[in-house]
Chains A and B, each alone.
Chain A
């Protein structure tokens, strides 16, 4: 199954490359035409970039996973067949990302966005026997899918304003109004939560409970990338209001700071990387906040460089843990001697992420610095600090694992775990030497984001240009932070601790707890007294009926109606039925009420027969027989304690209340039914048409023809209900189900 998944990814990747060379394409099919929703997909530059990432990195991650998963299942003593719950979701994950990259319809975008959330739920919670994994999966789903609702709201707002869900049309029609701003901000909220930006970042570090291939994919090319993908896709809407862009800048920098500082304090390898992801996507959000051609191209290149490096680093963490059985930096060190290939490859990946020259990452920071400095000196300065922070925690990560004293011995690991890291490292180096194809990719994406052709020419400039000076400053700052252990560690710990105490994760926990309490209270109220739940149905119904009463004019609303001598049998039979019903209500035994019920049924069947409804009468009689049979059989087998209850039960303490409630219900029903029956008949009706058409349907009994022909669908549903009920009865009565 793993090889099938890898093959799918590889084929898709090659197909996308070919499509890129051919210039892309688009398709637009009606999906739900009455709602104006179309299946609008376009393989433009922007889609190419994200789809190539999703399939290319997907392929490498799948290859890595084919080596990792059997070992992972083996460690947990789980059957190898559990892989069946892994690979399909991985492929769905990838397919949803490719679709998301190409989607141009807001509703389609939302649906695919949620599919990635669902897939990630199952993948994060793959180790379902561990409560932490389940909790992490639930948290990821609640945060990302919950905030995705904001996206749908935004889409509906835009539809109500401009009458379309199609993004290209929206870009043409949209103009700055408060509604547009609100809608754009709502969509941005969903995107930011997905990209784990402050303050909705807390789900991502916990998602590390997932198996390493999932983390590697989720952080680089799938889940988290989906957030910035949406930001880049709807950027023209965001750019309509400068306030939205400023908010993005603010959130981006806050995420860089929070993620970076906490990453410095983490001991677990994957936790360092997870917080680094928060920080790195902060960069991308900042770039979209800066906006313009430079921002858009820089963001695109940043996503590519980050995805390549970050997936390599995650796979490194997994490989190291697999080799040593240890995942804490404080217990690791000196692995460069034992895992030289991994050490070099991950060193290149880390260098790329830290933007050292000769790697693809260098150019992402070059463009980042240029865009930031262009925006304002303050943003430029913040950018330098951010890059310094990145440099510091990546240095700590790599040096801590591969340099220094050896603390835990490493064993040999499968080449499947190493090869993907090497490939990614080579790609990073190639990007550092020949940046042109990557720049073209980024320029294509940026052009879609800003809606105009842009040019991007990153390259090495051996001069004292602003970007070079800023990069040098960042590295210096990074080295200083790395060396100043005594200052760094307490500060980072304090930030991490403060975040844990006061941070949004705590709010989430308290919120969840409050919800649980609420649902428990509601559940208890319902369990303690069935009447509460009955009242919850009956009282609102009665209130509605009462409102209808007061709204209806009373004149002529209550007609007594003529009674002729021919109606006397009906009256007599009705009276018999009512008496039988009273008996059923008054008698406290078991059998007599049931017999009374069947008398009621029989007398009503008689009424129907006299009313000219022989079909109804026939069915009523046979059905009444079945019901009585069921009642009697069940009663004969009720447990001894129930059947043997001495004499009539003590009168209920609520007897008077119940009688009063019954009377109120009866009186209300009387009013409603009487006024309903008093409506004068309409001139023509469906019934007259049905009667006329019956001979054409080769029938004579109009009622049967209606049931089997004119309204056959109703009958179909009706017997389905019957079959489902019987299915329910059968499963309740199964012998082996007995307690």
Chain B
């Protein structure tokens, strides 16, 4: 079973990594979501034991590890929070730049930066001159 879980979690992680490298920002968010799924799966698979649900009255036989379940729950919730925040962030970027292509957004940023720099450079020089 180790092998199966490891394989599944690793494939999910690889797919997530691939998605994160895309230039489409929405796919980047998808990638983050997939990676967090892979993390939760790993957490649960790492329980020391698998078996019945740990609910009283305790059933016969082995019990699943409740501690890693609690941790997995936390991981799921935080993963969701991060995904939602990222997605809305991307949405804002797409509205502001009329594009969700990483390159286009970055290009826009750079040109904005250059303009800002020009004005700021002038201000800086004035300040330096005033300091003398």
Direct contact of A and B (CB under 8 A): yes
Report A's interface with B, CB cutoff 8 A. 131-132, 135-136, 206, 500, 505, 509, 520, 523-524, 527-531, 534, 538, 559-563, 567, 570-571, 574-575, 577-578, 581-582, 584-585, 590, 593-594, 597, 600-601, 604, 607-608, 611-616, 619-620, 623, 626-627, 630-631, 634-635, 637-639, 641-642, 649, 652, 654, 657-659, 661-663, 665-667, 669-670, 673-674, 676-678, 681-682, 685-687, 690-691, 694-695, 699-703, 706-707, 711, 714-715, 718-719, 721-722, 724-726, 728-729, 732-733, 738-739
- Report A571 CB to chain B, min CB distance, Å: 6
Bound complex: CA A206 to CA B76 (Å): 54
Is A642 within 8 A of B100, CB to CB?
yes
A682–B14 Cα gap in the complex (Å)? 30
User: Does A661 contact B21, Cβ atoms closer than 8 Å?
Assistant: yes
Q: Which of these, B70, B81, B87, contacts A703 with CB under 8 Å? A: B70
Q: Which residues of B are at the interface with A, using a C-beta cutoff of 8 A?
A: 1-24, 26-28, 30, 33-34, 37-38, 40-42, 44-58, 63-74, 76-78, 80-85, 87-92, 94-96, 98-100, 102, 106, 109-110, 113, 117, 123, 126-128, 130-132
Selected contact of A665 from candidates B14, B68, B84, CB within 8 Å: B14
Q: Is the Cβ of B51 less than 8 Å from the Cβ of A612?
A: yes
With a 10 A CB-CB cut-off, give which of A538, A685, A726 has the most chain B CB atoms: A685
Chain B hits for A706, CB < 8 A: 66-67, 69-70
Assess whether B37 is in contact with A627, with CB atoms less than 8 Å apart: no
Structural contact, B7 and A627, CB atoms closer than 8 A: no
Residues of B within 8 A of A604 (CB): 37, 40-41
Of A613, A703, A721, which is within 8 A of B78 by CB? A721
Query: From B19, which residue of chain A is reached at the shortest CB distance?
Result: A585
Q: Is the CB of B14 within 8 A of A711?
A: no
B110 in contact with A527 (CB, 8 Å): yes
Contact between chains at B13 and A666 (CB < 8 Å): yes
Do B127 and A732 touch (CB < 8 A)? no
Query: Is there contact, CB below 8 Å, between B34 and A584?
Result: yes
Given the interface pairs A612-B63, A641-B99, A649-B24, the reply to whether A677 lies near B6 with Cβ below 8 Å is: yes
Binding site secondary structure of chain A = helix
Q: Give the CA-CA distance A567 to B65 in the complex, in Å.
A: 17
List the B side residues contacting A590 at CB < 8 Å. Answer: 26
| Structural contact, A597 and B11, CB atoms closer than 8 A | no
Distance of A607 Cα from B9 Cα, bound (Å): 12
If A612-B51, A678-B2 touch, whether A131 touches B123 (CB-CB below 8 Å) is yes
A604-B40, A659-B18, A701-B55 as given contacts; A677 in contact with B2, CB under 8 Å: yes
Q: How far is B84's CA from A700's CA once the two chains are assembled, in angstroms?
A: 33
CB atoms of A639 and B95 under 8 A apart: yes
Which B residues lie within 8 Å of A673 (CB)? 5-6, 9-10, 13, 42, 45
Note all chain B residues with C-beta closer than 8 A to A642. Answer: 94, 98-100
* A593 vs B29: C-alpha distance when bound (angstroms): 11
Q: Closest CB of chain A to B127's CB: distance in Å?
A: 5
12 contacts between A and B (CB under 8 A): A509-B131, A562-B1, A577-B37, A584-B30, A613-B44, A613-B64, A638-B26, A662-B18, A690-B66, A699-B56, A722-B77, A732-B89
| B contact face: mostly helix, strand, loop, or mixed | helix
Chain A residues with Cβ under 8 A from B117's Cβ? Answer: 520
Q: A584 contacts which of B11, B19, B49 (Cβ < 8 Å)?
A: B19
Q: Which listed residue (B50, B54, B82) contacts A702, Cβ 8 A?
A: B54
Our count of residue pairs bridging A and B at CB distance below 8 angstroms stands at: 301
Residues of B within 8 Å of A582, CB to CB, are: 15
Return A602 CB to nearest CB of chain B, in Å.
Answer: 11
Query: How many whole Å from B53's CB to the nearest CB in chain A?
Result: 5
What is the minimal beta-carbon distance from A135 to any residue of chain B, in angstroms? Answer: 5
Determine if A725 and B82 form an interchain contact, defined as CB atoms under 8 angstroms apart: yes
Asked whether A702 lies within 8 Å of B66 as measured between CB atoms, the reply is: yes
Tell me whether A711 and B70 are in contact in the complex, defined as CB-CB below 8 angstroms, given that A529-B106, A677-B2, A687-B48 are known contacts.
yes
By the criterion CB–CB under 8 Å, are B81 and A722 in contact?
yes
On whether the beta carbons of B82 and A638 are closer than 8 Å, the reply is no
On whether the beta carbons of A729 and B77 are closer than 8 Å, the reply is no
Chain B's nearest CB lies how many Å from the CB of A707? Answer: 5
Shortest beta-carbon distance from B120 to chain A in Å = 10
Task: Report which of A649, A685, A690, A719 forms a contact with B48, defined as CB distance below 8 A.
Answer: A685
Chain B nearest Cβ from A664, distance in angstroms: 8
Which residues of chain B have C-beta atoms less than 8 A from A635's C-beta?
A: 26
Q: Are A685 and B67 in contact (CB under 8 A)?
A: yes
Q: How far is the CA of A136 from the CA of B71 in the complex (A)?
A: 51
Please report the C-alpha to C-alpha distance between residue A351 and residue B24 in the assembled complex, in whole angstroms.
75
Docked complex Cα distance between A601 and B41 (Å): 10
Q: How far is the CA of A528 from the CA of B111 in the complex (A)?
A: 11
Q: Contact between A534 and B20 (Cβ–Cβ < 8 Å)?
A: yes
- Asked if B84 and A561 make an inter-chain contact with CB atoms under 8 angstroms apart, the answer reads no
> Which residues of chain B have C-beta atoms less than 8 A from A661's C-beta?
17-18, 21
Q: Which 9 A-B pairs have the closest CB atoms?
A: A666-B14, A662-B18, A670-B10, A561-B2, A612-B64, A665-B17, A725-B81, A700-B56, A674-B6
Residues of B close to A728: CB separation below 8 A: 85, 88
A729 adjacent to B26 (CB under 8 Å): no
> How far apart sit A699 and B93, CA to CA, in the bound complex (Å)?
47
Q: Find chain A residues with CB under 8 A from B82 CB.
A: 725
Give chain A nearest CB distance to B38 CB in angstroms. 7
- Give the one of B14, B33, B82, B110 with max A CB within 10 A: B14
User: Are A500 and B132 touching (Cβ within 8 A)?
Assistant: yes
Tell me, rounded to whole Å, the shortest Cβ–Cβ distance linking A678 to chain B: 5
Q: In the bound complex, do residue A674 and residue B66 qualify as a contact, i.e. CB atoms below 8 Å apart?
A: no
Please tell me if the beta carbons of A738 and B95 are within 8 angstroms of each other in the complex. Answer: yes
Residues in B whose Cβ lies below 8 Å from that of A528: 106, 109-110
Residues of chain A lying within 8 A (CB to CB) of residue B49: 681
Interface centre among B26, B71, B110 (most CB of A within 10 A): B26
* Cβ-defined contact, A669 with B78, below 8 A: no
CB distance from A95 to the nearest CB of B (A): 31
From known contacts A674-B6, A677-B5, infer whether A666 and B66 are also in contact, taking CB-CB under 8 Å: no
Flag if A527 contacts B17 (CB, 8 Å).
Answer: no
Report Cα–Cα, A657/B33, bound state, in Å. Answer: 21
Neighbouring B residues of A695 by C-beta, 8 Å: 56
A721–B95 alpha-carbon span in the complex (Å):
26
